[in-house]
Structure 1
Amino acid sequence: MRFRIRRPANTPADSFPEDPSLAPAMDTVEPEAPQAPLSPREIELIRASASLVEPLAADMTVYFYAILFARYPAVRPLFPPGMDVQRGRLLRALLRIVDLVDDPENLVRFCGHLGRDHRKFGALEAHFPAVGECLLASLARYAGSAWTEEIAAAWTKAYQTVADVMIGAAEQDARVRPAVWPATLVHRVSRAPGIAELTLRPHLPYDYAAGQYAAIETPWHPLQWRSYSPAHAPREDGTLTFHVRAVPGGAVSNALVHRAVVGDVVRLGAPMGDMVLDAAVHGDLLCVAGGTGFAPIRALIEEVARRGGRHQVNLFIGARTGAELYGVDDMLRMAQRHHWLTVRGAVSDEYIAGIRGSLPEVLAEYGPWYQHDVFLSGPAAMVASAKERLVYDGTPPERIHHDPFDTPVLHAS
């Protein structure tokens, strides 16, 4: 199967301005899907074949990268030496796309994010046909005798749509901002055992919204990117402060926590994520933070303060032990200055003074929260269980905001 990627209409590949300060402010407008939505029959075929290969998906992604690198060795330098994380990302992206094939608006939105994010890897339009060819070959191999020409045609159409949207989003993004931002480490301090607070000064203006996250690449592990959220609203001096936990086996997190020193230069990817204050429609907010998920929540609360405190905010910070519960003192001091902020800390695995229990249990005790917009950040299991409890108690799902579960900030325990 050979793919011919079509350049989306009205998206010339303009180069980024020589002087980044002259670039217009980024207005992320999702490109329209470049061809008609998939038919119900095509959606049925894609989902049925995806279900068929899903039990073998881990092996399929290994095979995909093996034939991709064998057939197109020029793309190998775009990937890190160790491929375990990358294979997992591909699998999650595929499953997400399959989940969204009958939801064109969110499919285009998701693929637009992918296209902009892939700029930091050096992905080019010319790479997409090779990826599509090897992806279909992998699906066909693991679907076995169930694979038909009709299924291949449905996947070809779906991949063409995904590729066109990603290319259009990347080209639009390239007209207004760089793919990566070099940034110098200007300050560091320990916040808790295994957690470092790192302040970076980007060499170019870095525009983001409170609650978003940025991918970071260190000089010690090229091509390995991990995402972290600035722990504050945008500052006038342009610096960015991140809270990084050293995760066992995490090359990037351990390098940032244990190896990086003032003066080192890292690289940032474009800001990503939709967990921003403008997503809220109610005046009352419930903010829930576990572990280093405290960083984007703190940024959102700073943004509320910047806007004059037009929201009533209930903040819950949770951890397993008192030693892991950090950030509460900072927020209590903020609550003394702002009447609209209420702060509570909870510990689940240790008997100490204060609130005891998991965050979902504590939320149920202090609720209901059905008249609030909810912002959740922390370990994926906590976010999922808290969301389930809130929905059970009457909070509309569309009022619950959190980053995608494949964002690394949601993987740290």
Structure 2
Amino acid sequence: METYTDVLLVTANVGSLFDNVGEIQNEWLQELYKTIQNYKPQFIALHFQEVGGKDYMANMGYAENFFWSIESSEEMKGYDRVCIYVDNHFQAEDSFTALGSMYFIHKSLENIHQYDFNDKDFKAVSGHNKHVGSLDGVTTVEKEKFPKNFWPDFKWSRKGFMRTRWIIHNQGLDLVNVHLFHDASNLIACNSSPSIYSANRKNALRYVINRISDSRFTPLPFFVFGDFNFRLDALSLVQHLSISADVQTVKKDSSNEVEKIICEEKDNDHQVLLHIEEKLFAYLHQAVFREDNGRALLKYDKEVGAFHDVVGEEEISFPPSYPYSEENTKPTQYMNTRCPAWCDRILMSHAAQEFIHRRDDDEKTVIYNTVGPNICMGDHKPVFLFFSLKTNEH
């Protein structure tokens, strides 16, 4: 007999919530609860990145409160089993990832088990299980920071992945929380296609996929969701945006290093169309990233293409998820710091795609979208995937 379990997966880079403590959090949580109430899932997986924000040493206490406020909220009281994993052990520089994962199981979902990586066995889930700290001795989660020797030229940062493994009815699944490397400089990102940063992310994601598919444990269908930091192909995009412009490259006096790229319209009083510096990406017609959900720019979203052999993704029909203004009054405006991009994604193995139930009629049963599109959610809009997991009961 086929059974269907409604599943909600959410990925959210929450750094802004702690860098502006208290300002955004309340509305942010209300938008999350609204999404949950709207879809009424039986199983929820929340994957967070940048827990504690940039100033994590000062703000990690707020992060714990954030997790507890979700767990104990009135809106979540129908979920009688909860598993929480928060890597907040920033003293351990060689292993700290600032990742946090929360899993909620509704009281109506009876047949669910979680894997113990130590015992190599699935166990029934009961009660509230909270693991906050280094997670080193926790046997129901696998966590890894990317090795330092991967990228000797870049600052070693809190990036890595975290995996949990589940059986819902009779279907096994890996759920992987991931945070890949960002673009340190817009100018370097424009140097080549693909950029050096894109190549680093490709190495890191291939490493994650190899790790979760290796022979230590029986490989299972998987969902990888987090902040991939995927960016648009900057060189191709800038060439496209500046087709009708005069492009000037300004170099530093002391060295031959490029300091800024300025594209001026040929007519129109030489209006500056695009101005790029290391941490500035100011494009005059910002609406292009929002109109029709940025669809015209999806052709520059190339990084996931390198993984089509192993993962798929639902069609993107929402605007780039980053970098939004952190001002409450500008919830749909992008900051002029980076080129807007679909950083926050939910990818799945081809085997996992087969278990997503799709109805023959026109009713959309699979929803891939952002949380809080018209509310200030910080610099990243959380991204969610809602679907029914199709399983067979023996």
Question: So what's the TM-score if we normalise by structure 1?
Answer: 0.26
Higher relative contact order structure (alpha carbons within 8 Å, sequence separation ≥ 6): 2
Q: Is the strand fraction higher in 1 or 2?
A: 2
Q: Write 1 or 2 for the structure with the bigger share of helix.
A: 1
TM-score between the two structures when normalised by the length of structure 2: 0.27
